[in-house]
Structure 1
Amino acid sequence: MKKQNVVNLIKYHFERNENAFRNEALVVARYFDSVGDHQLTEYIMALISESNLYAPQGTDFESEFLKQVETKSLDSLNLSLEISEDVKGVINAINHNIGINKFLFEGLPGSGKTEAAKHVARLLNRTLFIVNFENLIDSKLGQTNKNITNVFREINLLQNSNKVVILFDEIDVIALDRVNSNDVREMGRVTSTILRELDRLTELNKDIVIIATTNLYSNFDKALARRFDAIINFNRYSKSDLIEVAEYYFSTFIRNFKGVIKDTRLFRKILNMADRLPYPGELKNVIKTSLAFSDSGSEYDYLKRLYNNFIGNLEQKDITQLYSDGFTVREIEKLKGESKSNVARKLVKEESHNE
């Protein structure tokens, strides 16, 4: 602990700056915890809790490990019907107040896990805090364990816990399988600490909601997975689900681009012809960049870009190939940038040549 910490405490006290005073007191508590004086650490944390200085009363609440996330103005959540029903189930379970409060969202990147967690907090009218893994993970042996203990201590001391959601986004970084990890001992200690703290959280705080997300569920520690009340699989999208999501993004984004003509029919045809479509996160980016990167002098340039992104190699496809794939003369004109008469002439010429 530095002299500046003491000066700051006195300064914030006389300024009646409770948030700054609280955060400085936490810095002092963590210092004593780092030097092994756990009894004094617990005493300081208890004083903070009892004096109600730790309550996240406003939007300026900050801590080293917990960052508040804005949820009031979120984009629409585009999930498949199956996943949407499960997310509604999560909200119902929390509202029943029977202690079902820990959820694991698993699925590939871009499948909507993080956005779903934000919407859960919004619909429950709860403050969302995300765990800052940049501060949590430490290269020093054993320090990550201490940080995990500290973050759960902060979570347990939060006031108005029935108004809070804690998000461990991409918890993979601290929760991979202990058996298959390259550093078995260190990973084992970290995972064991999380297990212990989750169990303590269940005993001490039945109101707070914990949501964790993972892209690597197959490598997830099985004992840790069992600590969650429910595991929601976000990999359940049919092609029709993804096309519906894509149409929503397309209709939303194209309004912002002047000189571009909307062709939903050809847009949908391109998506239907794709062998596979990416999940909503990537789908959103592809559609947005195809529109943004399109030539302002070409009304349908975005369709060429979409074709290349979803099907590929439009330049290598001649007109007869596109026609045999099911594209009309007018659609080929838009994709190839050639006149309708020129496209028709080439098709007639090709047919007569084949005869």
Structure 2
Amino acid sequence: MKKQNVLNLIKYHVEKNENSFRNEAISIARYFDSIGDYQLAEYIMGLIAESNLYTPQASDFESEFLKQLDTRGMDPLNLPIEISDDIKGIINAVNHNIGINKFLFEGLPGSGKTEAAKHVARLLKRTLYYVDFDNIIDSKLGQTNKNIANVFSEITMIPHQNKIVILFDEIDVIAMDRVNSNDVREMGRVTSTILRELDRLVDLNKEIVIIATTNLYSNFDKALIRRFDAVINFNRYSKDDLIEVAEYYFSSFVKNFKGISKDTRLFKKILKTALELPYPGELKNIIKTALAFSDVNAEYDYLRRLYNSLIGNIEQTNIDNLHLQGFTVREIEKLKGESKSAVSRKLNKEESDNE
């Protein structure tokens, strides 16, 4: 700690500049923490947390690297029961207030990790901030490390840290496996900085909630994994789970399109016929696109487009194959855009040809 820190404290007190006074005190606490005087660092942070002199709200905080996410008016989460139970467990763990507050969400893209983090913040009634990696990663050697240190410094400056959640979305951008990385030395320095700063942050504040997400868990640094209290796997969707999610999206979107006839039964049959369904993020886009791109003069065109996206080219699929897939004459009529008599005639012809 320098003399300037003491002078700054006096100056900010005289000026009644509460924000600057608080930030200076936090900077002093971080200094004592860095030289191993953890007890004094925690004592200073405790005084700051308990003081009634500083009343800025967490939602008023502005930062170069931290951006606030709005969690109001969110749609319900459509997660499998197993994952929903884990989300409830996170809420319980934080509310127990025993220091279990660091969580890693891992899973394929579109599996709902980021949305789940938003809901955690909403259910905890906390302000959610995400780390803006675009501003952190720098081509200059060593600058990324400095930016990461600045991120954690800014996190400690947010008022009322028992009312915030910090989201490191797709943290694998800066925290890949140090051993398997192509640039071992630079990646090692970056990951080591994250490890050190994360440990310090937790030592200084037991109430802050941290959530990180990754699409590349198998390449994730093992030492960093151990820093998290729990790892939640989002790759636990059964086909029935995905069909349920798709039905929710379909019901939400279809009411906004005029001239489209809602056929939930055929919609669901297409989903069941598909050999494999994508995860919710991609599935949502497929359904929305099928509806948006559909011909306003063809009330079932969206079903044909859905079939093309999930199963195969409907134009190159003959009627007999559609029948073998379990589609009725009426359903084939909708998918093919042909009359019932034409479909029946072709089916009869194909049957006679096979004989």
- Shift in Å, 1:306: 0.3
Give the conservation status (yes or no) of the 8 Å contact 1:54–1:158. no
Query: RMSD of aligned C-alpha atoms?
Result: 2.6
2: CA distance, partners of 1:200 / 1:100? 15
2: CA distance, partners of 1:322 / 1:67? 50
- Shift in Å, 1:53: 11
Partner residue, 2:9: none
2: CA distance, partners of 1:352 / 1:234? 50
Q: Bigger CA drift: 236-245 or 150-159?
A: 150-159
- Shift in Å, 1:354: 2.4
Amino acid at match of 1:247: E
Partner residue, 2:333: 333
- Shift in Å, 1:137: 1.0
Give the conservation status (yes or no) of the 8 Å contact 1:83–1:236. yes
Give the conservation status (yes or no) of the 8 Å contact 2:61–2:159. no
- Shift in Å, 1:78: 1.1
Give the conservation status (yes or no) of the 8 Å contact 2:270–2:307. yes
Amino acid at match of 1:313: N
2: CA distance, partners of 1:188 / 1:226? 16
Partner residue, 2:342: 342
Partner residue, 1:222: 222
Partner residue, 1:252: 252
Is the alpha carbon distance of 1:272 and 1:55 closer, same or farther for their aligned partners in structure 2, counting shifts above 3 Å?
Answer: farther
Is the alpha carbon distance of 1:143 and 1:52 closer, same or farther for their aligned partners in structure 2, counting shifts above 3 Å?
Answer: farther
Q: Can you list the C-alpha shifts for 1:315-350, whole angstroms capped at 9, x where unaligned?
A: 111111111221100000000000001111111222
Instruction: Report percent identity of matched pairs.
Output: 75
Partner residue, 2:7: none
| TM-score after normalising by structure 2 | 0.85
1:266 aligns with 2:275: no
Unaligned runs of 5+ in 2: 1-11, 28-44
- Shift in Å, 1:77: 1.1
- Shift in Å, 1:52: 9.5
1:46-61 superposed matches below 5 A: 57=57, 59-61=59-61
2: CA distance, partners of 1:64 / 1:229? 28
2: CA distance, partners of 1:149 / 1:325? 58
Amino acid at match of 2:57: Q
Amino acid at match of 2:350: E
Is the alpha carbon distance of 1:314 and 1:85 closer, same or farther for their aligned partners in structure 2, counting shifts above 3 Å?
Answer: same
Paired residue secondary structure (2:322): helix
Give the conservation status (yes or no) of the 8 Å contact 2:106–2:216. yes
Partner residue, 1:353: 353
Is the alpha carbon distance of 1:56 and 1:330 closer, same or farther for their aligned partners in structure 2, counting shifts above 3 Å?
Answer: farther
1:107-186 superposed matches below 5 A: 107-186=107-186
Give the conservation status (yes or no) of the 8 Å contact 1:55–1:158. no
Amino acid at match of 2:62: E
Is the alpha carbon distance of 1:128 and 1:98 closer, same or farther for their aligned partners in structure 2, counting shifts above 3 Å?
Answer: same
